[in-house]
């Protein structure tokens, strides 16, 4: 995908509020293929984790409200 295509898709995504079921299913199929391709070329860490170093209270308190 070219940068121009990316910008076009992003602009559309930011305006759209009503994706149809069919559009979501088509998106899912395309992204599934794209992600699978990256996965095949990328070694997943032996222990994949995020957020587990935080307490549940810290996670819930961080609500990105100030952004």
Partner 1 sequence: MSLPSRIEAEQRYEKLRALALEVTQNSLTGNLKLTQITPRALEATQNWVSSRLRQYNWDWPQNYSYYEKSYPKRFEIAVWENNILTAISLGRPTYHATGMRLDVVEAMPRDLGERSNVFDTIILAYEIYARMISANHIRIMNPVNETVRAFYERYGYQYIAKGNYLTRDIL
Nearest approach in angstroms of CB 55 to partner 1 is 8
Phi-psi region of 65 (alpha: psi -120 to 50; beta: other; left: phi over 0): alpha
Is residue 3 part of the contact set for partner 1 (CB under 8 A)?
Answer: no
Is residue 22 part of the contact set for partner 1 (CB under 8 A)?
Answer: no
How many whole angstroms separate alpha carbon 62 and alpha carbon 22? 35
Site string for partner 1, 26-65 (x = CB under 8 A): -xxx-xx--xx-xx--xxxxxxxxxxxxx-x--xx-xxxx
Asked if residue 51 lies in contact with residue 59, where contact means CB atoms within 8 angstroms, the answer is: yes
Is residue 2 part of the contact set for partner 1 (CB under 8 A)?
Answer: no
């Amino acid at each position: 995908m070219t940068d121009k295509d990316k910008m076009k898709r992003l602009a559309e995504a930011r305006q759209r509020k009503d994706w149809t079921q069919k559009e979501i299913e088509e998106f899912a199929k395309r992204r599934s293929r794209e992600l699978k391709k990256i996965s095949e070329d990328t070694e997943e860490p032996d222990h994949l984790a995020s957020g587990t170093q935080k307490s549940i209270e810290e996670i819930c308190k961080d609500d990105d409200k100030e952004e």
